[in-house]
Amino acid sequence: MDEHRVPGRSSSDPVDPGATTSSPGGGDLAADETAQARAELSRRNFVLRALAFIGGGIAAVLGIPVIGFSSAPGWQAKAPIRLLSTSIVPTLRSSALTSVGRVADFEVGAPQFVKVDRPIVDGWVAENAPVGVHVVRTSETDVAVFDPHCTHLGCPLAWSTGSRSFVCPCHGGSFNSDGDVIAGPPPSPMVRYEVQVQDGEVFVGALQEGA
Amino acid sequence: MGRIGRFIDERLDVSPLVRAFLDRRMPGNIGWFHTLGSATLFLIVVQIVTGIALSLSYVPSPDHAYQSVLFIDQTPFGALVRAIHHWAAGLIVLLMGLHILRVFIWGAHRYPRELTWMIGAGLFFVVLGFAFTGYLLPWDQKAYWATVVGTNIAGSAPFVGGAILEALRGGEQLGAVTLARFYGIHIWVLPAALLLLVGMHLFAIVRQGIAASPRRRPLVESEPGLSRREAYAIEYAAEKRAGKPFWEAILKDATVAAVLTVVLLALALGPGAPLEPQADPNITNYVPRPEWYFLDLFQLLWYFTGNLEPLLIFLTFTLASLIFIFVPFLDRGRHRHPRQRPVAMGLTAVVVVGVLGLTYLGASASPPGVVRVPPTEGMSGPELGGLQVYNEQGCSACHQILGIGGQAGPDLSRAGRRIEEADMRRQIVTPQNDEMPAYDGLSQQQLDDLVEFLKSLR
């Protein structure tokens, strides 16, 4: 082994246990020493294996809960498992029915951005927090409500009155007032909210993700 | 050695270790370029020290994060410490990139230092992880939106994308859970990985000695019949004989560290650390832009479109990462000198130009939808009217004129030269493709002016 070593390098290798087997001398004494060395070597191997076993056991027993806890949001993920994964809007989720105004407040074909307080749950935080939505009146009686995040990478979508489209400032994605993609990289239409119209008042419910 | 030194040495006998470390010989032609690695290490130490200090006053919760950063900035030296942490983060990415480039050009990733390279590649990803998790923490607009985009990019991996995304965010939404997780990853998980990898990297460097600079002809001609290890050992021993002691080289490293300290202080006291308004998830006119070192990746996303985009992004990043990690096994061969490796050097140049080009394009691209094209001198009345129509109708959401506007539609900088007037009129009112909305609500005057304006673009 020594002749392969880079010259000038310090020899700090642990003592090779095999070296004891080639000790000079002869006779029974040497044979005894050799047998003793062999026994020691096999015990050494045993101890090292036992150490690996004990260490592995401890790592598994402690590692499973630690890694399991840390990665829980991953293996509890609601996103479907599929080849072409899609982005997920960052909006704080709420399933409550929240009024965003009356149908008559909105002009047909002229989307409006509305912020409403909704009861959200964010980890250990449960509170009323403002949530912004694009409200589009599509006919005399119908209203569509969109989440204001691009389906490409989640950048904020603003309605551009001139080009009559929702425009994404990141990579130029744009959507028409129905939320359909008209240009750029977004892979899917804008995310809609569940909408209920009761007596002319518009209520939004849960996000309709993956729809 | 003073009395305290003798006291310690009498008990622990450390002076032989110190002597062996300082006096070990190293190859001679070690110059300023070799300080890039130690400069990176120096900045890592700066980050650890300033990061610990910042953590004393920072609270990782959406209710308090931004206010606690404002509080840090108002505490004596707080703004300075935060600014040093901010600028050192950027400098680490820069110096690490240059260090990687230096090592590759010098051929120091070759046998027997493949493992050192791969550990270093791991360090590169850990540092990018630090950058990514770090800039959420101030909870300002840039923080929030960069993380929205970043987690979505991570979520583009096939099959496990959703799981990765939700593991990062701590659920589907980006909020309190996300911030706590990013903080925990930033101050515990990544530092642990960093210290482990830095330890391994340094162990490998000290154990093997620093790679000699490549020579077109080796110092000693290799004898036939020697193993690769033997030939290397003889060659490296000759390099060390012709070399110098290690303590000689530390002076250059220390000089660079001192210069970096001055640069850091200048940046921290000059521009300081930026802080945008507090994160507002419900804003529609914010234009997300990443930190400069992610601009190249951000710009790259312009060029992936269609349904297969997430897969293409994932495959590109994965392939690039694998090539980067395993490059010592791809770029082999006898010669280490860059002039004897034309293919490797050519590809390196392509990568460098690509990264610089994408960064430049990303930095100079103006966001679509929010810009107006300014009038230029000597425009006629109808042309000015047309420009007004162009701006009012938001044409620059998709089209570019002389670098202003989006990239979704064709560049109109030379529309007057490229497009016939009749085609212009038809395309505006009744577009032939699905992507462009029909502008059939324009008055005849508006349309005439707009066409007049477009015709003037030559």
Q: What angle do CA B160, B164, B170 make, to 5 degrees?
A: 140
The span from the CA of B373 to the CA of B456, in Å, is: 14
In chain B, what residues touch A78 (CB-CB under 8 Å)? Answer: 162, 166, 172
Average pLDDT value for residue range A7-13: 44
B406 has a chain A CB within 8 A of its CB: yes
Which of A4 and A181 is assigned the larger pLDDT?
A: A181
Strand runs (DSSP E) across chain A, as ranges?
98-102, 112-122, 125-137, 143-146, 158-160, 165-167, 174-175, 181-183, 192-198, 201-208
pLDDT value of residue B395 = 80
Closest in A153, A164, A167 to B369, CB measured: A167
Distance (Å) of CA A102 to CA A108, A114, A135, B125: 13, 12, 11, 51
Whether B135 contacts B177, CB under 8 Å:
no
**B444 φ, ψ to 5°?**
-60, -40
In Å, how far from its chain's centre is CA B191?
19
pLDDT value of residue A105 = 92
In sequence order, the 6+-apart residues with CB closer than 8 A to the CB of B407 are: A172, B302, B365, B368, B398, B400
Residue B64 burial (CB count, 10 A) = 14
Average pLDDT value for residue range B182-192: 97
pLDDT value of residue A10 = 44
pLDDT value of residue B372 = 66
Instruction: Identify the burial level of B208 via C-beta atoms within 10 angstroms of its C-beta, where 0-12 means exposed, 13-18 middle and 19 or more buried.
Output: middle
Average pLDDT value for residue range A94-109: 92
For chain A, how big is the Rg over CA atoms in Å?
34
Q: Using one digit for the tens of pLDDT, what is the confidence trace for B52-81? A: 999 999 999 999 999 999 999 999 999 999
Question: CA torsion sign, B136 to B142 to B148 to B151?
Answer: negative
The mean-pLDDT minimum among A60-69, A176-185, B276-285, B390-399 falls in B390-399
pLDDT value of residue B1 = 63
Distance (Å) of CA A48 to CA A16, A54, A62, B179, B185: 15, 10, 21, 43, 34
Looking at chain A, the whole-number percentage of residues with pLDDT higher than 90 is 56
The token duo for A42 is 């096999």
Closest residue in B to A123 (Cα–Cα):
B177
Q: Using one digit for the tens of pLDDT, what is the confidence trace for B415-429? A: 888 888 888 888 888
Average pLDDT value for residue range B222-246: 91
**A134: β partners:** A113, A146
The bridge status of strand A158-160 relative to strand A165-167 is: antiparallel
Average pLDDT value for residue range A188-206: 95
Q: Using one digit for the tens of pLDDT, what is the confidence trace for A103-125? A: 999 999 889 999 999 999 999 99
pLDDT value of residue B366 = 58
pLDDT value of residue A7 = 44
**B276 φ, ψ to 5°?**
-85, 175
pLDDT value of residue B199 = 98
pLDDT value of residue A17 = 47
pLDDT value of residue A204 = 96
DSSP-assigned letters across all residues of B303-344: G--STTHHHHHHHHHHHHHHHHHTHHHHS-SS--SGGG-HHH
In chain B, what residues touch A71 (CB-CB under 8 Å)? Answer: 167
Average pLDDT value for residue range B126-130: 97
The span from the CA of A5 to the CA of B27, in Å, is: 17
Examine the pLDDT at A168 and tell me if it is beyond 90. no
DSSP-assigned letters across all residues of B179-211: HHHHHHIIIIIHHHHHHHHHHHHHHHHHHH-PP
In chain A, what residues touch B305 (CB-CB under 8 Å)? Answer: 184-185
The mean-pLDDT minimum among A8-12, B144-148, B232-236, B317-321 falls in A8-12
pLDDT value of residue B170 = 95
Question: Per mean pLDDT, which of A34-38, B9-13, B225-229, B402-406 is the most reliable?
Answer: B9-13
In Å, how far from its chain's centre is CA B232?
35
**A145: β partners:** A135
Q: Do B240 and A163 touch (CB under 8 A)?
A: no
In chain B, what residues touch A170 (CB-CB under 8 Å)? Answer: 149, 287-288, 298, 301, 367
Q: Determine the distance in angstroms separating the CA of A76 from the nearest CA of chain B, rounded to an integer.
A: 8
Closest in A88, A124, A132 to B155, CB measured: A88
Question: Per mean pLDDT, which of B100-104, B447-451, B453-457 is the most reliable?
Answer: B100-104
pLDDT value of residue A57 = 97
Examine the pLDDT at A3 and tell me if it is beyond 60. no
Looking at chain B, the whole-number percentage of residues with pLDDT higher than 70 is 97
pLDDT value of residue A94 = 93
Examine the pLDDT at B188 and tell me if it is beyond 80. yes
Q: Do A74 and B407 touch (CB under 8 A)?
A: no
